[in-house]
Amino acid sequence: MPLESEIKAEAIKLGFVVCGITTPAQPETFGAFQSWIEAGCHAGMDYLARPGSLSARENPASLLPGCRSVICVGLSYPPPEQPAPASRSGLGLIAAYALLPDYHHVVQAGLEKLAARLPGLAGRSVQSKVCVDTSPILEKDLARRAGLGWIGRNSLLYAPRLGSYLFLGELLTDLELLPDASLQGDPCQDCRRCVDACPTQALRPDRSVDARRCLSYLTIEHRGSIQSDLRPLLGWRVFGCDTCQAVCPLNQAAPTSASALPVISAHPDLLEELALSQAAWKAKYQGTPVLRAGYAGYRRNLAVALANLRPEGAFQALQAALEEELSPDLRDTFRWALEQLQAPDVKTKS
């Protein structure tokens, strides 16, 4: 069996659902990535614009001296639960990927095991480096080039029969491996469902995302207040957004099961969440991506969701939280939420 086939078979044994190989040549989308940065679409993610970060994304081989190949893998996760809860239930919504143990650790552990098996498969010592999306690497472009799938209009990688509910990872190696061919065609050519469904119209014509308007960015990475005109569009979301994936025809046949099971609920009770102390919140979400939002950011999201859903008891809970809150940004959001609850009920987009 060719070495490439053996490596792919090992990746599947380790739980990855797809594996492909490409070269460490400059990604074709690097120029578009630069333009995206120059347009300010990275919002507050300043680390993406650092010279060292840009240089590494332009030249993946720089991450590993002697790099000759990139092994790209995908790990599936369960799609969002359907149907979503009624909008007046007082329940929030957490994106599907965040219900599992933090994928950074899971993907990294799997790739480290694969790296440990390379010397035995190759019959020589092998230099390798594990990368996940915290590394300065354009992983979706590399995965596309390695034949894992296509890039959709929502910027995500779609794999045949698997859809976009995938965690990606890369293993850079000094092995000279035969690269796979990228897939032909464009399943998204005549479809705009994700573009039309995006609550904030954050999807750009070049298949990139304007983070300044993206609900995933705003509820996770963004620090401080969310601009007031976008707050009603959050609906009941308190961490992330799955809308552009949920409406995609390519995801309708995606597997409903995955190797990992959810460790938290997709629909937390908003009032119970607001009552959590920082220590209790950290303990509840320890080991999950939800911690990425930070305690203050999560409470900001809760306040917006409470204002949008208007469940019974929301005003009293927010009033009590405002009296104890010291952060100026959070106080601003709490005051706004209280004003919304006192105003006539207006249907929000969820």
- Please answer whether residues 304 and 333 qualify as being in contact, where contact means their C-beta atoms are separated by less than 8 angstroms: yes
Cβ atoms of 183 and 160 within 8 Å: the answer is: yes
Angle at 239 between CA 233 and CA 241, to 5 degrees: 55
Length of the chain: 350
Give, for all 350 residues of the chain, the pLDDT tens digit: 899 999 999 999 999 999 999 999 999 999 999 999 999 999 999 999 999 999 999 999 999 999 999 999 999 999 987 655 555 579 999 999 999 999 999 999 999 999 999 999 999 999 999 999 999 999 999 999 999 999 999 999 999 999 999 999 999 999 999 999 999 999 999 999 999 999 999 999 999 999 999 999 999 999 999 999 999 999 999 999 999 999 999 999 887 766 678 999 999 999 999 999 999 999 999 999 999 999 999 999 999 999 999 999 999 999 999 998 888 989 999 999 999 999 876 555 45
How confident is the model at residue 214, as a pLDDT? 98
pLDDT (0 to 100) of residue 343: 82
pLDDT of residue 258: 63
Distance CA 318, CA 315 (A): 5
> Distance between CA 309 and CA 246 in Å, rounded?
21
| Residues pairing with 209 in the sheet | 203
pLDDT tens-digit readout, 60-97? 999 999 999 999 999 999 998 765 555 557 999 999 99
CA–CA dist 83, 235 (Å, integer): 15
Residue 233 makes CB contacts below 8 A (sequence gap 6+) with: 199, 200, 215, 348, 349
pLDDT for the residue numbered 22: 98
Q: Looking at residue 182, what is its pLDDT?
A: 97
DSSP line for 128-145:
EEEE-TTSS--HHHHHHH
Helix, coil or strand: residue 30? helix
Element holding 167 (H helix, E strand): strand 166-173
Catalytic residue, from 46, 133, 210, 269: name it. Answer: 133
Beta bridge partners of 169: 73
Give the relative orientation of helices 328-342 and 314-324 as an angle to the nearest 10 degrees.
160
The span from the CA of 188 to the CA of 199, in Å, is: 19
Q: How far apart are CA 4 and CA 305, in angstroms?
A: 49
Catalytic site includes residue 133: yes
- Where helices occur in 185-277 by DSSP H, the ranges are 193-197, 215-220, 243-246, 270-274
